[in-house]
Chain A
Amino acid sequence: GDSVTQMEGPVTLSEEACLTINCTYTATGYPSLFWYVQYPGEGLQLLLKATKADDKGSNKGFEATYRKETTSFHLEKGSVQVSDSAVYFCALTPSSGGYNKLIFGAGTRLAVHP
């Protein structure tokens, strides 16, 4: 079945460091791909998304490119801030069956220190 694999955390960085969180997926067809962020004690917020191959989603300095050839959707940011500390979830919705199911990766915890 469809699945999402994320790099294990936690990821610990100093402020202004570069961030990459790897995400790869297994799915038939062309799923839509998402990154969600969960701040401590809160629900998930949509960070960015891409719905077709080669699309780049971007928001708040984060970006991710839908790579069909490598089945990847890696999250990147050039300079992280302490306020970026959170858990990041990569997810997909299958191309078949409409948008009725989000399949999540396990989540990657990011800790940014001053």
Chain B
Amino acid sequence: GAVVSQHPSRVICKSGTSVKIECRSLDFQATTMFWYRQFPKQSLMLMATSNEGSKATYEQGVEKDKFLINHASLTLSTLTVTSAHPEDSSFYICSARGGRLADTQYFGPGTRLTVL
């Protein structure tokens, strides 16, 4: 149990376009989902926390208008990078927790975004 998937695994886009990344909990209901960003050879930086049915809570320094997060159901959260620029290129990882698995975050495999 506790499988979290992300789609796509890799995406390349042109500067100025928007990219949507999906995060799904496959075998449990995720009341809370988290989005992280990881730069090469560095740790994970929490970007935002989203609870199902409510607005996401963003960490200090993260632009909410640039990184749109939607958590419309107990199994799906999306991160949309709007008007992407090369400096947005990174590894984006989601995690989820909920139900009987509320005390642990389970991570997706990550999405590698490259903005040209």
Contacts and interface: CB of A to CB of B under 8 A. Distances in A.
A94 interface: no
B93 A99 contact: no
Interface in B36-83: 41-44, 46, 49
Contact of B95 (A42, A49, A102, A109): A102
B102 interface: yes
Contacts of B106: 46
B46 to A, nearest CB: 7
Contact of B109 (A42, A49, A51, A93): A42
B52 to A, nearest CB: 14
A32 B103 CA distance: 8
A36 B104 CA distance: 11
Nearest to B91: A43
Contacts, number: 49
A94 B4 CA distance: 23
B3 to A, nearest CB: 11
Given A101-B46, A102-B34, A43 B104 contact: no
A107 B85 CA distance: 27
Contacts of B41: 109
Interface in B85-108: 93, 95, 97, 102-108
Interface residues of B, number: 21
A48 B97 CA distance: 16
Contacts of A99: 32, 97, 102-105
A2 to B, nearest CB: 13
Interface in A58-114: 89, 93, 99-102, 104-107, 109
B14 to A, nearest CB: 24
B93 A43 contact: yes
A43 B49 CA distance: 18
User: What are the 7 tightest A-B residue pairs by CB atom distance, in nearest-first order?
Assistant: A43-B110, A44-B107, A43-B109, A43-B107, A104-B43, A106-B43, A43-B93
Given A102-B95, A106-B42, 5 more contacts: A42-B109, A43-B110, A44-B95, A100-B32, A100-B49
